[in-house]
């Protein structure tokens, strides 16, 4: 796959999630006492929290801006996905995906400092993204050229479900907070977006 030949929306779709990942990594480096087992990712976005490390304002700006920028870019990308869908079900999945990306922006805007509002937009993100996948799978499983993507869209959310269920049931007693389930879900989202981009770049929707 040659980068030079990729349309701009799909090129942005490849690189936008990397912005969020880089910002998360930088925020973690700025939080020496933050751990995967004992914290949530959103702890990195708290503007005044010092128990995970110094310079909370700088750390929070890096973390939250990464989410906001990535969410805005991905809405632009998803609008192009929406235009490429030829069915109501496919278009609906992209609308839900854009709603999920809106929640991602809201997580960055309404940081952990906002308490219940932050909790609600976080739940909104983690709740809507799997449904975008499942609705897409209901359509794509019937399309020969992207049936493989339909199968992945159907199964991928269950990976996150198993991790979240293991955390909530106490199967992973070392995890006292949700950073690992959160990053697992985020990774599944990124993989899904990248696979959609690749399928478009390969011209599978026009076959």
Confidence at residue 170, expressed as pLDDT on a 0 to 100 scale: 86
- The average pLDDT across 48-66 equals 96
Q: How deeply is 130 buried, as exposed, middle or buried, from its count of CB atoms within 10 A (0-12, 13-18, 19+)?
A: buried
**Structure token pair of residue 100:** 């999920």
pLDDT in tens, 85-98: 888 888 999 999 99
Dihedral (CA of 48, 110, 27, 124) sign: positive
Residue 129 pLDDT greater than 80, yes or no: yes
Residue 44 pLDDT greater than 90, yes or no: yes
Question: What does pTM read for this prediction?
Answer: 0.92
CB 37 within 8 A of CB 176: yes
Residue 2 pLDDT greater than 80, yes or no: no
Confidence at residue 86, expressed as pLDDT on a 0 to 100 scale: 80
CB 77 within 8 A of CB 16: yes
Confidence at residue 87, expressed as pLDDT on a 0 to 100 scale: 84
Tell me what the pLDDT averaged over the chain comes to: 92
Longest dimension (CA), the chain: 55
Range 103-124 burial, b when 16+ CB lie within 10 A, else e: bbbbbbebbbeeeeebeebbeb
CB 28 within 8 A of CB 44: yes
Q: How deeply is 86 buried, as exposed, middle or buried, from its count of CB atoms within 10 A (0-12, 13-18, 19+)?
A: exposed
């Amino acid at each position: 796959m040659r980068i030079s030949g990729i349309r701009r929306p799909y090129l942005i779709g490849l690189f936008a999630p990397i912005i969020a990942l880089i910002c998360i990594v930088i925020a973690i480096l700025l939080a020496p006492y933050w751990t995967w087992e004992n914290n949530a990712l959103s702890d990195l976005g708290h503007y005044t929290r010092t128990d995970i490390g110094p310079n909370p304002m700088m750390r929070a700006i890096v973390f939250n801006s990464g989410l906001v920028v990535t969410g805005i870019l991905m809405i632009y990308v998803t609008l192009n996905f929406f235009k490429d869908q030829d069915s109501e079900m496919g278009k609906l999945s992209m609308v839900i995906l854009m709603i999920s990306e809106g929640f991602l922006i809201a997580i960055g805007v309404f940081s952990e400092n906002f308490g219940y509002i932050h909790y609600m937009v976080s739940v909104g993100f983690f709740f809507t993204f799997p449904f975008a996948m499942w609705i897409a799978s209901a359509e794509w499983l019937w399309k020969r050229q992207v049936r493989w993507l339909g199968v992945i869209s159907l199964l991928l959310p269950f990976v996150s479900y198993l991790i979240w269920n293991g955390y909530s049931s106490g199967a992973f007693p070392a995890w006292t907070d949700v950073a690992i389930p959160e990053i697992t879900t985020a990774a599944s989202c990124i993989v899904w977006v990248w696979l959609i981009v690749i399928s478009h770049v390969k011209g599978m929707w026009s076959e």
